[in-house]
Copies of this chain bind each other. A is one copy, B any other.
Amino acid sequence: MADPHGYIDRHFARFQEELFEFLRIPSVSARREHDPDTRRAAGWLADRLRELGLAVSIEETRGHPIVVGEWREAGPGAPTVLVYGHYDVQPPEPLELWTTPPFEPAVRDGRIYARGSVDDKGQLYLHVKALEAHLRTTGRIPVNLLFLAEGEEEVGSANLMPFVESDADRLACDAIVISDTSMFGPDVPTIGASLRGLAYFQIDVQGPAHDLHSGTYGGAVANPATALARILASFHDEEGRIQIPDFYDDVNPAPEFVRQIRTLDFDEREFLEETGAPALVGEAGYTALERLWVRPTCEVNGLLSGYTGEGSKTVLPARAMAKVSCRLVPDQRPERIRVLFEQHVHRVAPKGVTVQVHYLHGGLPWRARLGGPLYEAAERALERAFGRRPVYAGEGGSIPIVPEFERVLGAPVLLMGFGLPGANAHAPDEWFDVENFRKGTHAAAA
């Protein structure tokens, strides 16, 4: 009877029911009206951890609370593992695009559809259930375990970092495990090998003091929208290479990782279909996966100027605005990119306008320090759960807390995610594969 894996399979229906309870709580961290729900989700999770006999505290912050659960019965000689996840979710809008309501979990085709199913309640909860399987069968696990769940991941984790700093002693650990990412493909167990960093800017271009008649003034007064277009067009050459001087200086070519990427069986056509774009493009000389995982980007996220309604209005706009973000790869640093970006924009800015660059926020890129007992254990666990060895995949997005965890706590981070490509995290009809919920629980238990 002392078989945690048998326990998981026997109790899996109940695990799923419990997850549904968790998913029904609309813990939308971005919306003030959901503050009671977000707090309720924290309480619900704390209760589940307490039921397993963990010492649980709910740490108040200036925003949503942090839930900390501790099981230290492996003793001071045993390693300590910190499992991090988040109980808050993205806003569900636009609601009309959901097949079933976002906070009424529904199973279709082997998928659990609900806001937060894959990001990140399902992935967080499978660790709780893996612990339960051990404690209810063998009564113990070989490591000390710390659960750290926050309620502000979707709004920038502003209060987590100071907490990690202030409670670093209590959070001291030998490894950090995070299930908040995707698998490379169905049935392909995946370890996250890298994350891109971020530097986010807003460019404001001011021309005349107020909108002008484009006939009466056009030709003699600089147009801020044209000026902005010229600035944005200067960021890349015709082959997609970023033209900001020194931008690539700190890009670590990571030949080992690139070699490994090239062995992955990537279906460009499927990826293209997922995007709905007419063709894949990008920096010359790199494959799509390299462009996504080991090359930095400079992307326009938003544009606004002048008249944007129906029909025509002959206005020479007073202002033009762009949001631009750079995804960074090791060993680029947002502070350095900020300087290079601002210098470049001011250098290429046309005459006759005033240009301001605002740095909104940033985060460090990260690359896993592969090898060692943590990764060896993860490889074994994933192989046992999925029947094949995991692959190492990069991630084009950013999780700024990951490099900070490593910096403050000094322990390596393992990204072991069970989402699938196209799982609609942050989008309508978010789903989590039921089988992956089960296999992930097994992997976490292994």
* Interface residue ranges, A against B (CB under 8 Å): 196, 198, 200, 202, 207-210, 212-223, 225-226, 228-236, 271, 275-283, 288, 291-292, 295-297, 299-308, 311-318, 320-323, 325, 327, 350-354, 360-361, 395-398, 426
* Given contacts A210-B276, A275-B208, A281-B351, A300 and B291 within 8 Å (CB-CB): no
**B396 contacts A300, C-beta separation under 8 Å:** no
- Of all chain B residues, the one with the shortest Cβ separation from A212 is B275
- Integer count of this chain's copies in the complex: 2
* A/B interface sample: 16 pairs, CB < 8 A: A208-B275, A210-B276, A218-B396, A219-B283, A220-B280, A220-B281, A221-B275, A226-B232, A230-B232, A278-B354, A300-B305, A300-B306, A301-B316, A303-B308, A307-B323, A312-B360
Contact residues in B for A299 (Cβ distance below 8 Å): 214, 218-219, 223, 226, 316
**A292 contacts B226, C-beta separation under 8 Å:** no
A192 to chain B, nearest CB (A): 13
Contact residues in B for A278 (Cβ distance below 8 Å): 352-354
- Assembly CA distance A300 to B311 (angstroms): 14
**A220 contacts B282, C-beta separation under 8 Å:** yes
**B307 contacts A219, C-beta separation under 8 Å:** no
**B218 contacts A297, C-beta separation under 8 Å:** yes
- Of all chain B residues, the one with the shortest Cβ separation from A288 is B220
A122 to chain B, nearest CB (A): 19
**B277 contacts A221, C-beta separation under 8 Å:** yes
- Assembly CA distance A395 to B313 (angstroms): 18
A135 to chain B, nearest CB (A): 36
**Other contacts beyond A223-B300, A229-B230, A301-B307: 11, CB < 8 A:** A198-B215, A214-B327, A215-B327, A218-B327, A220-B280, A229-B300, A300-B317, A302-B307, A303-B320, A313-B323, A314-B397
Contact residues in B for A226 (Cβ distance below 8 Å): 232-233, 235-236, 299-300
**A292 contacts B208, C-beta separation under 8 Å:** no
